[in-house]
Amino acid sequence: MGNRGLTISPERNVTVRRILYTAYPLLPVSNESCGGAEQMLSVLESEMSERGHITTIAACAGSHAAGAVFATGRETTAPDSLPERNSEHEQRILELVTRTRGSRPTFDLIHDKSGSFWKRAAECNVPVLATLHLPRHFYPEVLFRQFPASVYFNCVSDAQSRSFADLPRMLGVVRNGIQVSQFPLKREKQDYLLWIGRICEEKAPHLAIDVAQRTGLPLILAGQVYPFSYHQRYYNEHIRPHLGNGTPSISFFETPIFDRKLELLENARALLIPSLVDETSSLVAMEAMACGTPVIGFRRGAIPEVVIDRVTGFVVNDVEEMAEAVWRAWEVNPHACRAHVETSHSAVRMAVEYEQLYERVLALDAMRSGSHAA
């Protein structure tokens, strides 16, 4: 199975693969997605389709893809519905995967970005590559105690991978990438600070407000308040009281469309990332740097891998250092920011590396299947 397929072109010497991408069950996948995993999936699937592969995304209704969309159920923002919705999502995927075209499976490989589908891999007839997007402690440890032999893993940063070093069949790191052409470079900046993300305590927009108050510069917050009670409580207690026409002004744009997000990114004096968790990656940092906008982030997780200190922004230890770095943002060359993203964080680079990883998974699984049959 692993060696079957059509050659895309003699020059590239790459085999066409039929790839199924599995998404998180609650939220739709598109270039307007708020979640990083959904954004990254949208970018990767589009790039792989462009490269000639046959791609399908299994996700809730309302999702968009360059290839095909297999709708597994309705979109929902009710967190209490996750167990039931996830069960429906996984069952629909299994029904799709176990279909055959003659003697051949429907897909060559499943790339799991749902966070948990890999536990059902024994019920599939193809190998599963599970990309881990979160810090290890965000996953129930039971998921890693025992899992099917046809499951392979990868991480999205070196910092994240260190916590998964003991995991069997961990195949390494593929860093996230963005469609650089969608984020034009802009040298001239306006005098406001920007924070983008999920409105919750761990992403710490309240610390961005602290930085704005220390510097006296306006701050724009952009993102989404999810319908979790603790997210809404955090917003009402720590963010909402600061919104209005005070000095400095604190503004909030809820779930901005892509064009509005782009406008905010390309004009900001600096993007602030004061996260209180170890970020495994940062798509918004890549997007800001592609626009030539400096990024100032806490020295946590993968931020020092994404942001080159004093070249594309500043990596700092606390709010006081973040506020001081704001006044040095003019030292950052927008062209250096852009060049870094083009070299290290492009969708093309990411797709090439996943293309290579898919072939490795298929080869390893063919060896495993052959050994098992023998």
The pLDDT score that the predictor gives to residue 77 is 62
The mean predicted confidence, pLDDT, of the chain is 92
Lowest mean pLDDT among 35-44, 62-71, 297-306, 361-370: 35-44
Model pTM? 0.91
User: pLDDT digits over 248-259, tens only?
Assistant: 999 999 989 899
Please tell me the distance from the alpha carbon of residue 26 to that of residue 305, in angstroms, as a whole number.
30
For 257-315, the pLDDT digits (tens) are 899 999 999 999 999 999 999 999 999 999 999 999 999 999 999 999 999 999 999 99
* Cβ-based burial of 276 (10 A; exposed 0-12, middle 13-18, buried ≥19): middle
CB 164 within 8 A of CB 155: yes
Second CATH level (architecture) for the domain 180-344: 3-Layer(aba) Sandwich (3.40)
In this predicted structure, what is the pLDDT of residue 34? 61
pLDDT band of 33, cuts 50, 70, 90:
low
For the cut 90, the answer to whether the pLDDT of residue 358 exceeds it is: yes
CATH superfamily of 18-177+346-373: Glycogen Phosphorylase B; (3.40.50.2000)
pLDDT in tens, 134-158: 999 999 999 998 999 999 999 999 9
165 burial (CB, 10 Å; 0-12 / 13-18 / 19+) is exposed
Q: What average pLDDT does the segment 232-239 reach?
A: 96
**Rounded Cα distance, 177 and 188, in Å:** 25
Q: Are 314 and 339 in contact (CB under 8 A)?
A: no
Q: Which of 100-104, 168-172, 255-259, 355-359 has the lowest mean pLDDT?
A: 100-104
Ordered by start, the domain boundaries in the chain are 18-177+346-373, 180-344
Give CA–CA dist 155/301, Å, rounded: 13
Same fold, 18-177+346-373 and 180-344: yes
